[in-house]
Amino acid sequence: MPLDLDKIDLHSPHRYATQGFPWAEWAQLRDEAPVFWYERDDIEPFWVITRHADVMTISEDSKTFINGGPRLRLALKGEAELLRGGVDSFGLSRGWNPQEPPDFTFMDDPRHRHTRKLSSWAFTQGCMREVGAHFDALAETFTEEFLTALKESDTCDFVHELAAKLPLAATGEILGLPPEDWKQLLVWSNAIIGEVEPEHIRSGETVTQAAERNMSDMRSYLEALIQEHRAPGGGPSPFVNRLVNGRVNGELLNEQQLNSYLFLLIGAGNDTTRNATTGGLVALLEHPDQRDLLCGNAALIPGAVDEILRWTSPVISFLRTVTEDTVINDQSLKAGDTVCMFYPSANRDDRVFSDPYRFDITRDPNPHITFGFGAHFCLGANLAKAELRSVLKALRGVLPRLELTGESRRIANTHVSGFSMLGVRAVA
């Protein structure tokens, strides 16, 4: 029976946490209303974009569809948008400019392009090839630790025991941050998406208050880090030294801009790959034929990485603001309107992908747009792929000995998809 499109829920964080992706709703929208005006009482209205071709069109036209408008990520009325939260309160005490974009994802070209270049050198394919063997070694070590944890307990949380470790180490090493700080960085990164473990919530705090406090603590940490590297002679991190001395249009970044820059890199560097790794394990264990293919042939790892990225689509959505009246898929949009691109839907579009609901690590071609497209293509795409390759290499030999326990907890978020906990056990 067709769904009533005027009643479907695409915007509730609780919906994604309890039910996962709205596959049926997106499929019906792709067929019947690929550019759909979405109005609900608890969120500002927006156009829903579900087809692959339309997401590509919007993504490559960064003049008509800008990041620098009032909205970039879905947020309920009365709630701060992800990565805007905490900027006002923390910045007020520091005299920050309230008109400054929260980070460079909120910018548009040419400023976005120039600001992004300050760190893009660290995430090239060449840089990832140089650290590939090191990532492999880290992944092997973390997998051994995971297997040890499995031996010591009937069940194990795959997210914390393995999936979170390589992204955290990779981000920490690239940014040159002390290893003893990495675990705390993970706590702070989780807080950015509203995930705070009970042990990190103080008496009398709500989860939201704890998340805001943790984000403020993270900004204080970055503030001290920046000051250390501003000092004569610089600090211990080559990356941070280069960033604090980098210029955009001849000007050094100020404290506010540097803080937001590092805040974004740490948060994004941890969330996406961790969620893709966890979702990839679920996909492989739920599709034993594909698991066995991978275990039997290491040459399939690159294809498996891309299929996992398509299948999991760890970034759910991004918004853009329309700058002038335009038309998308025969639908008229007005200047000032908001469009919301749903990447998991685009990655299941049967106009592009044959049998899109089949998990197939041999899929070729695989033109997924998990990392976006155009000017705002994900800065860390090469890093994410390198990490996933290393994890799959390390896990290939043990996948047949793992099974899901059925215990899991999904992230309650409309921007980032994934598991905050995933139970796994060893089988004989």
> Model confidence over 91-119: pLDDT tens digits?
888 999 988 999 999 999 999 999 999 99
Residue 393 pLDDT > 90: yes
81 neighbors 72 (Cβ within 8 angstroms): yes
239 neighbors 174 (Cβ within 8 angstroms): yes
Q: Is position 343 within any domain?
A: yes
- Supply the pLDDT for residue 85: 56
What is the spatial distance between Cα 336 and Cα 154, in angstroms, rounded to a whole number? 54
Q: Is position 345 within any domain?
A: yes
The DSSP bridge pattern shows strands 338-342 and 317-322 to be: antiparallel
311 neighbors 340 (Cβ within 8 angstroms): no
Q: What is the domain-level CATH number for residue 241? A: 1.10.630.10
Number of domains in the chain: 1
Owner of token pair 């499995």: 150
- Supply the pLDDT for residue 87: 65
SS3 31: helix
Range of the domain at 172: 13-426
Convert the pLDDT of each residue in 157-198 to its tens digit: 999 999 999 999 999 999 999 999 998 998 998 888 878 888
pLDDT greater at residue 169 or residue 82: 169
Compute and round to an integer the Cα radius of gyration of the chain. Answer: 21
Q: Is position 6 within any domain?
A: no
Owner of token pair 């100020």: 254
Q: Is position 8 within any domain?
A: no
Q: Is position 190 within any domain?
A: yes
- Comparing CA positions, the residue from 187, 192, 141, 193 lying closest to residue 160 is 187
- Supply the pLDDT for residue 30: 98
Kindly indicate the confidence band of residue 207, based on its pLDDT and cuts at 50, 70 and 90: confident
The token pair at 19 is 């039910």
Residue 199 pLDDT > 90: no
Residue 6 pLDDT > 70: yes
- Supply the pLDDT for residue 208: 82
Q: Is position 5 within any domain?
A: no
Q: Is position 300 within any domain?
A: yes
Average pLDDT, the chain: 95
Q: Is position 70 within any domain?
A: yes
Kindly indicate the confidence band of residue 339, based on its pLDDT and cuts at 50, 70 and 90: very high
